[in-house]
Structure 1
Amino acid sequence: MNPPDLCCDVTIVGGGPAGLSAAVALARSLRSVLVVDDGTPRNAPAAGAHNVLGHDGIAPTRLLTDGRREAEHFGARIISGRAVTARRTEDGFEVGLADGARVRSRRLLLATGLTDELPDVPGVRELWGRTVLHCPYCHGWEVRGRRIGVLGTGPMSIHQALMFRQLTDTVTLFRHELDEIDPLSSRRLAALDVEIVDGPVDRVMAADGALRSVVLADGREHALDTLAVAPRFTARAELYEQLGGTVTDHPMGSFLAAGPTGQTDLPGVWAAGNVDDLSAMVAVASGAGLAAGVAINADLVTEDADAAVAARAGAAPVR
């Protein structure tokens, strides 16, 4: 027997900072809200979330636990599950879960995040989020003064080398798959004493769960404390595409195009967090979720008011 259908004003797919912030805003406005979360936060490997005002260094799992508790305090309902289908209905939307449950709602917010597609170098994934990093704002203070390497995969790698050089005197750029370095970038790197090492990287070596060195294909080994990589950021956009939406390509990956408050080209569908902003850190994603929640409530307020006008006039509301 399949689980019973659930109904609410707003379904939020994704229970990260964006989704939970939207849930709080909507629940505080007395909207019925259901958050569907599959329990796979992108920043789970990290020891702490940073640049979160008043909570710098908070464990990502603790942040989400506190956020869930807050959303539930105001009346939001959070269920563990994976949303696998989405379709438009006469009254709004129906989201199907992997366990067979269906959630019906008037509006839909996609806070599904993105997938980090890491370079195919042995050892990178195992150390990801700890001593293999990508964002100097997320982890830079914690690795300041250390020996930092940058895995060359494209233009972003040059930018990473310059950014991490602000945090340490020892930065090594491994060319790896980086074909060209433009003349201006070459002069900048040279002026900042960034060492450039030619040749592909074969693997990343670890000791006691932390980065030890980078080994090149020719056998050369370079001792490091931290390695910066530039993943490809791919929006988790399956539900959006099922509804007829189109993903927007980006040099760094793909995202859902949305307006300032997260409204997409699909009527009734909003997006917030990394799914529509590839560079959004925790605090930015949280703010985007709040903005989307406020906008969705305003949209529903207008619809409810129009329905009341039509009812008073004895006519069916216009949809």
Structure 2
Amino acid sequence: MTEYDVVVIGGGAAGLNGALMLARSRRSVVVVDAGQPRNAPAAGVHGLLGREGTPPAELLALGREEVVGYGGEITPGEVADVTRDGDRFAVTLTDGRTIIGRRLLVATGLVDELPDLPGLRERWGKDVVHCPYCHGWEVRDQAIGVLATGPMSMHQAQLFRQLSADVTVFSHTLPPSAEQAEELAARGIRVVPGEVAGLEITDDRITGVRMADGTVVARTAVAVATRMVARAGFLAGLGLTPVAHPSGIGEHLPADQAGRTDVPGVWVAGNVTDLAAQVGTSAAAGAGAGAQINADLIAEETRLAVAAHRERCTASLAG
């Protein structure tokens, strides 16, 4: 089958839960999954009631199984382009396949852009972390360093201070303001000035933060506020491109509370629109968007049915 009621682009929590809602509503739905989940490096999913600590790959496998159990389809692939085909959408994959859908649910997530410093990418999702709610418990009571890289870095430092009494901010290229410095001092958070050169790694674990002057500050975990950018380049043909998020933390695809974009027939859910959403939030948004898409399809089908009914009645009267 190459034509569906809904094509879901992205096989993470948001996309799969949206597909689940649609499949349970007896919609023909296919999930195009590039197999590049943002949380792949993490050991477990956290803050998800009933699934606390479940490995990300295991959670997604369970989700795919549930979608398929209700008649939905999962196809591996990466989307290259999306165009309008009359009142439908043509989704072209990088391998040349084309899938047609009446509606689109885009749940491709985001890319975390890390500062170009030795050690950060290698330890990402292990002892280089970003979210205190996703990884904070795992680094509790450790010597935590916070690398100041963005507008949320000082707030991030305060959040990690809730989890450890030993938190140090490395001002790097973004020194705290006078007000922020006072707040950090009040909470016992040390500030180390100067640029960071990289991480010290021994026996596959962080042992310190190396400064540009060669000084090494002992740390066992490092928090960094990444720049988060929605994966949505393939939507440019529809006039949808990521824009700056109001918070300054990256780029997202704007949508209303239901996930509806400015392009009729296209919904978004999860990190592609809500950069700060965790797995549970993304899954809930996917379910909500799926329900809204089903309602939108019903409204269209009802309009068409009424028009056909009137035509039959008119033909009957004329006869």
Return the TM-score normalized by structure 1. 0.95
User: Aligned to 1:271, which of 268, 292, 308?
Assistant: 268
Q: Does 1:288 align with 2:285?
A: yes
- 1:186 alignment partner AA: A
Q: Does 1:35 align with 2:70?
A: no
Q: How does 1:194-209 map to 2 (within 5 A)?
A: 194-209=189-204
User: What is the rounded CA distance, in whole Å, between the counterparts of 1:12 and 1:204 in structure 2?
Assistant: 39
Q: Does 1:260 align with 2:260?
A: no
User: What is the rounded CA distance, in whole Å, between the counterparts of 2:298 and 2:210 in structure 1?
Assistant: 59
Task: Return the offset for 1:107.
Answer: 0.2
Q: Is this contact kept in 2: 1:154–1:177, CA < 8 A?
A: no
Q: How does 1:112-261 map to 2 (within 5 A)?
A: 112-179=108-175, 181-250=176-245, 251-261=248-258
User: What is the rounded CA distance, in whole Å, between the counterparts of 2:126 and 2:31 in structure 1?
Assistant: 29
- 2:40 alignment partner AA: A
User: What is the rounded CA distance, in whole Å, between the counterparts of 2:258 and 2:100 in structure 1?
Assistant: 23
Which residue is equivalent to 1:52?
A: 48
User: Aligned to 2:98, which of 102, 106, 117?
Assistant: 102
Task: Return the offset for 1:38.
Answer: 0.5
SS for the counterpart of 2:263 is coil
User: What is the rounded CA distance, in whole Å, between the counterparts of 1:203 and 1:185 in structure 2?
Assistant: 24
Tell me, which stretches of 5 or more residues in structure 2 are unaligned? 313-319
Task: Return the offset for 1:146.
Answer: 0.6
Q: Is this contact kept in 1: 2:14–2:270, CA < 8 A?
A: yes
Task: Return the offset for 1:184.
Answer: 2.1
Tell me, which stretches of 5 or more residues in structure 1 are unaligned? none
SS for the counterpart of 2:15 is helix
Q: Is this contact kept in 2: 1:24–1:76, CA < 8 A?
A: yes
User: What is the rounded CA distance, in whole Å, between the counterparts of 2:262 and 2:251 in structure 1?
Assistant: 16
User: What is the rounded CA distance, in whole Å, between the counterparts of 2:203 and 2:7 in structure 1?
Assistant: 43
Q: How does 1:297-308 map to 2 (within 5 A)?
A: 297-308=294-305
Q: Is this contact kept in 2: 1:134–1:229, CA < 8 A?
A: yes
User: What is the rounded CA distance, in whole Å, between the counterparts of 1:174 and 1:48 in structure 2?
Assistant: 28
Task: Return the offset for 1:237.
Answer: 1.4
User: What is the rounded CA distance, in whole Å, between the counterparts of 2:101 and 2:177 in structure 1?
Assistant: 51
Task: Return the offset for 1:155.
Answer: 2.8
User: What is the rounded CA distance, in whole Å, between the counterparts of 1:246 and 1:98 in structure 2?
Assistant: 19
Identity %: 50
Q: Is this contact kept in 2: 1:241–1:247, CA < 8 A?
A: no
User: What is the rounded CA distance, in whole Å, between the counterparts of 1:227 and 1:242 in structure 2?
Assistant: 39
User: What is the rounded CA distance, in whole Å, between the counterparts of 2:232 and 2:39 in structure 1?
Assistant: 19
- 2:272 alignment partner AA: V
Return the TM-score normalized by structure 2. 0.95
**Alignment length, in residue pairs?**
310
Which residue is equivalent to 2:78?
A: 82
Q: What RMSD, in angstroms, separates the aligned Cα atoms of the two structures?
A: 1.1
User: Aligned to 1:15, which of 5, 11, 29?
Assistant: 11
Task: Return the offset for 1:312.
Answer: 1.4
User: What is the rounded CA distance, in whole Å, between the counterparts of 2:95 and 2:127 in structure 1?
Assistant: 37
User: What is the rounded CA distance, in whole Å, between the counterparts of 1:154 and 1:19 in structure 2?
Assistant: 29
**Divergent runs of 4+, >6 A:** none
User: What is the rounded CA distance, in whole Å, between the counterparts of 2:111 and 2:23 in structure 1?
Assistant: 28
Task: Return the offset for 1:182.
Answer: 2.0
User: What is the rounded CA distance, in whole Å, between the counterparts of 2:309 and 2:213 in structure 1?
Assistant: 80
User: What is the rounded CA distance, in whole Å, between the counterparts of 2:209 and 2:305 in structure 1?
Assistant: 66
